[in-house]
Amino acid sequence: MFDKSKVQRKFPWNETIDGREITFRLMSGADRKAVLAFTQDLPEQNVIFLRMDITKPAMVAQWIDNIKRGYTITVLALDGKKVVGYASLHHNEALWMRHLGEVRFLVTPDFQKDGVLEQRLANEIFHIGKEMGLYRIVAQIPTDQPRVQAILEHLGFQAEALLTEWLMTQDGQLHDMLIMSYRIQE
């Protein structure tokens, strides 16, 4: 379980990305409507492989509950009051996996061109993972998302495993999954 008191990073803060002033801050229960609005603007190819269908209010409520319970920490990126991206770090309470965190990030298509916002969000999650004392951060991605794989590699992630036909879309199509990891502590 994450103890937010260990997070030394200061939020909120701002950075100019693609000529826009972006605010970075931690997600809370008050963000339910803004997160749902964010998901409504995403193309299907951006949401088909999410762990939870965050286009549904019940799933966003579960996400917020996971934040409140300390299983997830999420950094939001906002353009004004509009959510334009997020990065989440999920923690598993299983004793044999307590040293791991799983990262997920997603940004609007406007910010996917050069990957700067995704890299910035991932960097924030790395720092939070380090402050939490995690040993390794992992990412599970479909192999047909080479742009995401390239962003992770640029950040220092390395391929750990390829699982064939591990993912299935709503229409029954099978896809391979790549597990990548970033070792925080040597």
Q: What is the 3-state secondary structure (H, E, C) of the chain?
A: CCCHHHCCCCCCEEEEECCEEEEEEECCHHHHHHHHHHHHCCCHHHHCCCCCCCCCHHHHHHHHHHHHHCCEEEEEEEECCEEEEEEEEEECCCHHHCCEEEEEEEECHHHCCCCHHHHHHHHHHHHHHHHCCCCEEEEEEECCCHHHHHHHHHCCCEEEEEEEEEEECCCCCEEEEEEEEEECCC
Read off the pLDDT band of 2 (50, 70, 90): low
Read off the pLDDT band of 30 (50, 70, 90): very high
Q: Are strands 100-107 and 136-142 parallel, antiparallel or unpaired?
A: parallel
pLDDT of residue 38: 94
Cα dihedral 150, 156, 157, 159, rounded to 10, equals 80
State mean pLDDT over 86-108.
Answer: 86
Read off the pLDDT band of 186 (50, 70, 90): low
Domain at 4-183, CATH homologous superfamily? Gcn5-related N-acetyltransferase (GNAT) (3.40.630.30)
- How does pLDDT run across 56-81, given as a tens digit for each residue? 899 999 999 999 998 999 999 999 99
Q: Does residue 121 carry a pLDDT above 90?
A: yes
C-alpha 181/C-alpha 105 separation (Å) is 14
C-alpha 56/C-alpha 53 separation (Å) is 6
In this predicted structure, which of 12-16, 20-24, 148-152 has the lowest mean pLDDT?
148-152
Beta bridge partners of 138: 102, 181
pLDDT of residue 93: 72
What's the whole-model pTM score? 0.90
State mean pLDDT over 78-103.
Answer: 88
